[in-house]
């Protein structure tokens, strides 16, 4: 539509208003901060993908091998035709297929290609999803605070550059959380169903979030403001959505193996190695580390030294059930002690500032010139800017948990229903998620929701400061 003469005569009328300019500046600043932190962390991780202290390339080699077998036709994309291949249920089927797709399209059959693709996608999706959840739950002001914390987060930046199934899993769990909020606010069966579907898709990447659907369904049942019949329908929709998406894996496992395992995985290994984290567990024969577990089982099976044996092969389903029995029997003998072990793990998973506790992985790095820049860049304005950015990251990571606690307090006072819905995800990862050996990277959805609460905490603290100044 052509501009009128009046418009042409007064072009200032069509310039951006001060408020719009302010919003655009905020968005640009947020994106610049996030991109800078992510880029410099990516440079660090690209230099450390062959360092077992920073990247579990032993675990990645399983996905790499399966992806190569898929591309060569030696392994089916989904079905398991050999009932002895219990190693193929160690992980859900989607991530090896995803790695194979990246290998095929990029022509680069290495972890570096997966790293770059996931780094770029996570830069867009994590900021979008966490901001969207915060806007829906607590409004735009809280969302700005959450966006700043996402951009500065060493934890999210590090695992965005970590070629594993953990980051894609988090995308779908967070998408499900957002749909869950919308289902609650709009009393929508369809949003509840889609939340369950997204959670089911996450389980194709990692099995960890599977039973979260029960917690989501219960919250919708209890807190949706509608008739009990409608509440039951909305809550059930979450379960139906997750069940429908996960059921093909369950059916495949039932048809493939005489020793049926619904979801596969390594529950027994996580329990057994989790006991190996502790002195009492080690005194009773438990050990931490796949290689130590495998060596013990090799001796039990009477296999010669050097024979091939993996965590889930051969006879992996039966062996994992035996690990579960041994671990559960020991835990039953020491229930109070084990509750203390779980509390210790919870703190290890929540601790994103200071020295990390052993066994649970790193919560990321604060970017510095020495860590992230090549030698010829470690001086001048660029190096100074990176160092200042790392200092800001350090402050943000120490503020995160106190702000999240304030956010939970504020949310429970102003909108308890929304707070409870989001807390279900936090509690799920903290409590059942720490029964076996956990790692921080398994808990990325929980840490993302904590950032949502921290955004609300910042909003509440700033608002309280304004009120006190006005008085």
User: The tokens 């302010």 sit on which residue?
Assistant: 22
pLDDT tens track for 251-278: 999 999 988 888 876 899 999 999 999 9
pLDDT at residue 462, as a whole number: 93
- Checking if the pLDDT of 236 tops 80, the result is yes
Give 8's pLDDT tier (boundaries 50, 70, 90).
Answer: very low
User: pLDDT (tens digit, 9 = 90+) per residue, 338-377?
Assistant: 999 999 999 999 999 999 999 999 999 999 999 999 988 8
What's the confidence (pLDDT) of residue 18? 53
Are 151 and 41 contacting, i.e. CB atoms less than 8 angstroms apart? Answer: no
pLDDT of residue 262: 84
Amino acid 365: pLDDT: 96
Residue 20 has pLDDT above 80, yes or no: no
pLDDT in tens, 272-295: 999 999 999 999 999 999 999 999
Phi then psi for residue 10, to 5 deg, are -130, 70
Q: What is the pLDDT of residue 16?
A: 44
pLDDT at 4: 46
- State how far the Cα of 118 lies from the Cα of 447, in Å rounded to an integer: 18
Looking at the predicted structure, is the pLDDT value of residue 455 above 50? yes
Higher-pLDDT residue of 72 and 260 is 72
Is the predicted pLDDT of residue 28 greater than 60, yes or no? yes
What confidence score (pLDDT) does residue 259 get?
87
Reply yes or no on whether the pLDDT at 17 is more than 90: no
- Give CA–CA dist 336/332, Å, rounded: 9
Q: Which of 215, 105, 62, 95 is nearest to 167 (CA)?
A: 95
Provide the percentage of residues in the chain whose pLDDT is more than 90: 82
Closest CA to 415 of 139, 196, 201: 139
Mean of all residue pLDDT scores within the chain: 92
| % pLDDT > 70, the chain | 95
| Positive or negative torsion for Cα 252, 255, 256, 262 | positive
The answer on pLDDT for 393 being more than 90 is yes
Q: Which residues contact 84 (CB under 8 A, 6 or more apart)?
A: 313, 314
Mean pLDDT of 14-39: 78
pLDDT at 67: 97
pLDDT at 19: 53
Q: What pLDDT, on the 0 to 100 scale, is given for residue 25? A: 81
pLDDT at 1: 42
Mean pLDDT along residues 318-329: 95
Closest-CA residue to 186 (of 232, 220, 228, 138): 220
* Span 203-219, average pLDDT: 96
Residue 471 in this model has a pLDDT that exceeds 60:
yes
Query: pLDDT grade, residue 245 (50/70/90)?
Result: very high
């Amino acid at each position: 539509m052509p501009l009128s003469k009046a418009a042409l005569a007064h072009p200032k009328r069509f310039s951006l208003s001060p408020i719009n300019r302010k919003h655009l500046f905020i968005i640009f600043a947020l994106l610049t901060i996030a991109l800078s932190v992510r880029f410099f962390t990516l440079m660090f991780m690209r230099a450390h993908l062959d360092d077992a202290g920073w990247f579990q390339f032993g675990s990645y080699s399983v996905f790499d091998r399966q992806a190569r077998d898929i591309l060569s036709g030696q392994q089916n994309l989904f079905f398991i035709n050999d009932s002895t291949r219990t190693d193929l249920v160690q992980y859900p089927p989607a991530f090896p297929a995803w790695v194979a797709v990246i290998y095929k399209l990029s022509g680069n059959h290495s972890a570096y290609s997966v790293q770059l693709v996931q780094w770029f996608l996570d830069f867009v999706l994590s900021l979008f999803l966490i901001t969207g959840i915060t806007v829906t739950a607590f409004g735009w002001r809280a969302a700005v605070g959450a966006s700043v914390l996402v951009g500065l987060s060493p934890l999210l930046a590090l695992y965005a550059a970590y070629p594993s199934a953990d980051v894609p899993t988090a995308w779908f769990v967070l998408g499900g959380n957002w749909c869950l909020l919308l289902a609650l606010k709009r009393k929508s069966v369809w949003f509840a169903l889609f939340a369950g579907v997204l959670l089911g898709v996450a389980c194709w990447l990692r099995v960890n979030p599977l039973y979260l659907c029960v917690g989501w369904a219960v919250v919708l049942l209890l807190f949706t403001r509608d008739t009990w019949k409608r509440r039951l329908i909305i809550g059930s929709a979450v379960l139906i959505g997750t069940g429908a998406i996960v059921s093909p894996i369950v059916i495949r496992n039932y048809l493939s193996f005489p020793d049926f395992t619904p979801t596969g995985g390594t529950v027994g290994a996580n329990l057994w190695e989790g006991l190996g984290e502790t002195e009492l567990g080690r005194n009773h024969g438990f050990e931490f580390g796949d290689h130590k577990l495998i060596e013990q089982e090799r001796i039990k099976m009477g296999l010669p030294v050097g024979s091939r044996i993996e965590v889930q092969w051969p006879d992996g389903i039966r062996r994992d059930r035996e690990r579960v029995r041994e671990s559960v029997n020991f835990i039953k003998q020491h229930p109070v002690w084990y509750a203390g072990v779980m509390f210790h793990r919870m703190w290890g998973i929540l601790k994103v500032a200071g020295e990390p506790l052993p066994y649970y992985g790193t919560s990321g790095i604060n970017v510095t010139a020495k860590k992230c820049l090549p030698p010829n860049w470690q001086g001048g304005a660029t190096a100074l800017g990176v160092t200042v950015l790392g200092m800001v990251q350090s402050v943000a990571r120490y503020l995160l948990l106190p702000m999240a606690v304030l956010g939970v307090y504020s949310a429970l006072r102003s909108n308890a229903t929304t707070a409870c819905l989001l807390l279900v995800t936090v509690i799920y990862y903290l409590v059942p998620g720490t029964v076996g050996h956990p790692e921080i990277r398994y808990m990325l959805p929980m840490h993302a929701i904590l950032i949502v609460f921290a955004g609300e905490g910042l909003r509440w603290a700033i608002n309280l400061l304004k009120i006190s100044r006005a008085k």
